Amino acid sequence: MAVDYATLKKGGWMRQKQKNKFALRVHVIGGTLTAEQLIGIQKVADKYGHGYVHLTARQSLEIPWMDAKDIENIKKDLAEYGVTPSVCGPRVRTTTACQGSATCPSACIDTQDLAKKIDKRYFARELPGKFKFGVTGCQNNCLKTEENDIGIKGAERVEWIPDKCIACGVCVKACRENAIELKDGKISIDMDKCSYCGRCAKACPVDAYEEHPGYIMSWGGLFGNHIHRGNNIVPFFEGEDTLFKLCDATVDFFDKNAQPGDRLQFAIDRYGQDKFDDMIKKIYDENVYKEDK
């Protein structure tokens, strides 16, 4: 029986150099697997494979040495533990994410929740080329968002609350941009210098900053044969609706304008970076609440 490699690849079965052997890539969202899922993976690796797994560069997990004849049984065994195959090839891939605000003291956003939403909305969507989303909780950038076709970085706008402030000066030193000044018991923030990292608010001993979480996005990252750092086309913004409008428009753009095997940046280059930037800026302008200055 002939093996249909394209279909298998769509289902996360990566052909090995050994005939009829595959590494099965499992569906992971934001780098999180339950202990239950790990039991299922362990059983399959022992029963059908060589008793080991490989962690991929983008937070997925592959079980090598799966035999073509066992594919249906493997899928069934894994399903009992809530494990499903991932995808490879020209479609939306694994969404990567750090642990985010659920556990990390630095994070500005709930990256795990956002990764699940992105996965639900786009995962495995057929496109002319591969398409990667990466989400990181803050500007420490543990998840290296600029490597992804769309990178999403948690950030926050802060508002000083004078009544709570004890004028201790901790935030002045916590700020890496020297944007904060404490004078006569009053805090002033130079918004031209502010990077929206939120370190002032996180360091404040009396929570005298109101935190308004949001995002800093990047477009067109690549880290394979070609290397390109994702561009920040628009500044920080708040609102998940706007975030998804920007993501939708980008994925649709890629679907319409990319050639087979393209990555987002190649499609942008052919279309014109300025024209692409204008499209993104227009959506940003239409949706982002502009604070009165």
Partner 1 sequence: MAEVSDIKVDETVDITDVVCPVTFVKTKVALEELDDGQILSVHMNDGEPVQNVPRSVKEEGHQILKLIDNEDGTYDLIVKKVGD
Q: Contact between 283 and partner 1 (CB under 8 A)?
A: no
Q: Contact between 68 and partner 1 (CB under 8 A)?
A: no
Instruction: Single out the residue of 173, 271, 283, 288 in contact with partner 1 (rule: CB under 8 A).
Output: 173
Q: Contact between 184 and partner 1 (CB under 8 A)?
A: no
Q: Contact between 104 and partner 1 (CB under 8 A)?
A: no
Of the pair 202, 263, the CB lying nearest partner 1 is at 202
Task: Give the number of residues written for the chain.
Answer: 293
Instruction: Single out the residue of 168, 249, 283, 288 in contact with partner 1 (rule: CB under 8 A).
Output: 168
DSSP string, the chain: ----HHHHHHTTEEEPSSTTEEEEEE--BTTB--HHHHHHHHHHHHHTSSS--EE-TTS-EEEEEEEGGGHHHHHHHHHTTT--B---SSBEEEEEE--GGGT-TT-SS-HHHHHHHHHHHHTT-B-SS-EEEEEESSTT-TT-GGGSSEEEEEEEEEEE-TTT-----HHHHH-SS--EEEETTEEEE-TTT-----HHHHH-TT--EEEEEEEEEEE--EESSSEEPPB--S--B--HHHHHHHHHHHHHHHHHHPPTT--HHHHHHHH-HHHHHHHHHHHHHHHSPPPP-
Q: Contact between 203 and partner 1 (CB under 8 A)?
A: yes
The Cα 113–Cα 181 span in angstroms is: 35
Q: Contact between 9 and partner 1 (CB under 8 A)?
A: no
Q: Contact between 15 and partner 1 (CB under 8 A)?
A: no
Q: Contact between 167 and partner 1 (CB under 8 A)?
A: yes
Region near partner 1 per CB under 8 A, out of 41-49, 123-131, 162-170, 219-227: 162-170
Q: Contact between 249 and partner 1 (CB under 8 A)?
A: no
What the block records as the tokens of 248 is: 């939708």
Instruction: Single out the residue of 52, 166, 178, 181 in contact with partner 1 (rule: CB under 8 A).
Output: 166
Instruction: Single out the residue of 9, 117, 199, 263 in contact with partner 1 (rule: CB under 8 A).
Output: 199
Q: Smallest gap, in angstroms, from Cβ of residue 98 to partner 1?
A: 18
Instruction: Single out the residue of 204, 217, 234, 264 in contact with partner 1 (rule: CB under 8 A).
Output: 204
Region near partner 1 per CB under 8 A, out of 49-57, 84-92, 201-209, 229-237: 201-209
Of the pair 3, 166, the CB lying nearest partner 1 is at 166
Instruction: Single out the residue of 68, 142, 161, 170 in contact with partner 1 (rule: CB under 8 A).
Output: 170
Name the nearest CA neighbour of 239 among 148, 139, 157, 138. Answer: 157
Q: Contact between 174 and partner 1 (CB under 8 A)?
A: yes
Contacts of 67 (CB under 8 A, 6+ apart): 20, 21, 22, 48
Q: Contact between 202 and partner 1 (CB under 8 A)?
A: yes
Q: Contact between 260 and partner 1 (CB under 8 A)?
A: no
Q: Which chain residues interact with partner 1 by CB under 8 A?
A: 105, 166-170, 173-174, 176, 185, 199, 202-206
